[in-house]
């Protein structure tokens, strides 16, 4: 048989057993759409056991090769990835697996050394990516699923036979999905501390150092139990077009992000920055009518036009949608769309490098805002405000901005929330916006803690 290969799977069987089984495998990754056509939410991908891994930490990347050997590299992480990406191959499927995982916010300090690093108390990698040979592609609208394998794994035939046999069994052994919280969420900043940081941001704005700075808090609660169970419950009450779960050796990434960072397909680049948030119970017309929110959004649109303009064909960068409302379980967002045509000699990795991290979670100008963030926030952001997604074997890419994103460890759960501060921002409102954004996480924790 030739490669790549496909095998139809039972959608109902996938939902009952296969997803739970795959999620417990090493480096399992689930990119979960919400079933909508918008933002590529129609499709989901489920995979595990990459045949190569790339783990970045403070400027050095550890590469685990297919034979199990490791090598260490101090070159630019993005340039290193380009060396190992297979040559793009044409594929008619919407997604084919490939390079998948996360790029943490702290990679910004590698690209721009003038940005200091924050305290890394969680000791998570700056980058955790794998080349995945097989993937289960799920059409959430048609309720279909298929196993796809490229044949790049050194033992591709054995992997294919094993997966086909495993995923057609009547039942599969899966770990418990029970989890427990032993306390309420606590912020790493009291209101007084947040207020002091807010005043410092205002000072920088008035001095003309920045036009906007995104200031975030980190919340944590004592946790134990199933990472996957927590993700499933989170996704149930707060479905999002860029939900993601990634299992790491001693922790897991749990994301319910509504925001696309960058997509690239057939030469076309798209980014959809979010700036402007209201609780769901409010009338979204308030966002449309808010001069402050529109100004915030426009600043980031200009920043993203500049970022993608570095790698796009001259004159191709456009803003087809400005100030649109997108509504989710707990909030309304103000969203714009920026597009362009990538230069012919560049790849998706070049695009990601030129724009990382996303401007919607830094502020503007980007480097100056990142410097202020590093000096004001007590802890590293890690995956939060980084990016989660894939670059497939056809060379296409789709990535999220990792907002509404947490990290579960054996003892604690951490989640972040922040907002863009501009000259007319009000401290109490910005502080409350952080809680509005993590409301679904708070709901789960309060229910689990009160039982």
Q: Is the peptide bond before 4 cis (omega within 30 degrees of 0)?
A: yes
Q: What is the pLDDT of residue 79?
A: 96
35 torsion bin: left (phi>0), alpha (psi -120 to 50), beta (else): left
Give yes or no: 142 in active site.
no
Q: Which of 67, 73, 133, 125 is nearest to 100 (CA)?
A: 133
Tokens of 64: 């685990």
* Token pair in block for residue 89: 């191959």
Pairing of strands 212-225, 242-247: unpaired
- Taking each helix axis from N to C end, the angle separating 427-437 and 439-450, rounded to the nearest 10 degrees, works out to 60
Residue-level pLDDT at 341: 98
Give the residues across from 6 on adjacent strands.
Answer: 148
Annotated catalytic residue, options 259, 270, 296, 433: 259
- Cis omega before residue 90 (within 30°)? no
CB atoms within 10 A of CB 164: 14
Quick one: which of 193, 217, 285, 213 has its CA closest to 435? 217
Can you say how many angstroms the Cα of residue 397 is from the centroid of all Cα atoms in its chain? Answer: 13
- Conformation bin of residue 50: beta by default, left when phi > 0, alpha when psi is -120 to 50: beta
pLDDT at position 328, please?
85
Maximum pairwise Cα distance, the chain: 66
Q: Which residue positions in the chain have pLDDT lower than 70?
A: 1, 35-40, 449-451
Cα radius of gyration rounded to whole Å, the chain? 21
144: three-class secondary structure by DSSP: strand
User: For residues 355 and 308, what is the distance between their CA atoms, to the nearest angstrom?
Assistant: 6
* CA–CA gap between residue 235 and residue 436 (Å, rounded): 17
Helix axes 366-376, 191-207, angle to 10 degrees: 150
Q: Which residue is it, tokens 């739970």?
A: 20
The pLDDT of residue 144: 95
* Cα–Cα dist 107/127, whole Å: 7
**Is 202 one of the catalytic residues?**
no
Yes or no: say if 404 and 328 are a contact pair by the CB < 8 Å rule: no
Domain at 5-450, CATH homologous superfamily: Anthranilate synthase (3.60.120.10)
Q: Where are the domains of the chain?
A: 5-450
For position 97, what pLDDT does the model report?
84
Q: What is the pLDDT of residue 90?
A: 81
Catalytically annotated residue among 32, 272, 275, 372: 275
pLDDT confidence of residue 33 = 83
């Amino acid at each position: 048989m030739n490669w790549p290969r496909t095998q139809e799977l039972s959608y109902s069987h996938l939902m009952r057993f296969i997803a739970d089984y795959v999620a417990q495998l090493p480096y399992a990754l689930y990119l979960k759409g919400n079933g909508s056509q918008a933002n590529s939410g129609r499709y989901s991908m489920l995979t595990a056991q990459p045949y190569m891994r790339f783990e970045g930490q403070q400027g050095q990347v550890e590469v685990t090769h297919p034979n199990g050997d490791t090598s260490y590299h101090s070159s630019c992480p993005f340039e290193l990835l380009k060396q190992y990406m297979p040559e793009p191959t044409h594929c008619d499927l919407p997604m084919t697996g490939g390079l998948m995982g996360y790029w943490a916010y702290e990679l910004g300090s590698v690209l721009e050394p003038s940005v200091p690093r924050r305290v890394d108390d969680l000791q998570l990698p700056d980058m955790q990516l794998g080349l995945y040979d097989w993937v289960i592609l799920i059409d959430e609208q048609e309720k279909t699923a298929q196993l796809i394998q490229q044949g790049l794994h050194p033992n591709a035939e054995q992997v294919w036979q094993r997966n086909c046999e495993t995923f057609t069994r009547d039942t599969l052994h899966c770990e418990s999905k029970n989890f427990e919280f032993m306390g309420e969420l606590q912020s790493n900043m009291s209101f007084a501390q947040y207020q002091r940081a807010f005043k410092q941001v205002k000072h920088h704005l008035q001095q003309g150092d920045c036009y906007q700075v995104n200031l975030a808090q980190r919340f944590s609660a004592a946790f134990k139990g199933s990472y996957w169970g927590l993700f499933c419950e989170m996704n149930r009450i707060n479905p999002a077009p860029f939900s993601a779960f990634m299992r790491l050796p001693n922790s897991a990434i749990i994301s319910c992000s509504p925001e696309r960072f960058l997509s690239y397909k057939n030469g076309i680049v798209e980014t959809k920055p979010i700036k402007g948030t209201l609780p769901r119970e409010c009338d979204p017309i308030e966002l449309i009518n808010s001069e402050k929110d529109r100004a915030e959004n426009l600043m980031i649109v200009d920043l993203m036009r500049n970022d993608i303009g570095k790698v796009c064909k001259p004159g191709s960068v456009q803003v087809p949608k400005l100030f649109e409302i997108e509504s989710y379980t707990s909030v309304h967002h103000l969203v714009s769309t920026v597009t362009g045509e990538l230069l012919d000699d560049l790849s998706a990795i070049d695009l990601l490098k030129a724009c990382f991290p996303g401007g919607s979670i830094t502020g503007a100008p980007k480097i100056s805002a990142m410097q202020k963030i590093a000096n004001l926030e007590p802890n590293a952001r890690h995956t939060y405000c980084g990016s989660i997604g894939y670059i497939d074997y056809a060379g296409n890419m789709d990535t999220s901005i990792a907002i509404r994103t947490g990290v579960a460890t054996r003892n604690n759960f951490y989640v972040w929330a922040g907002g863009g501060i501009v000259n007319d921002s009000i401290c109490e409102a910005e502080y409350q916006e952080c809680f509005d954004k993590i409301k679904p996480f708070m709901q789960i924790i309060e229910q689990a803690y009160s039982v």
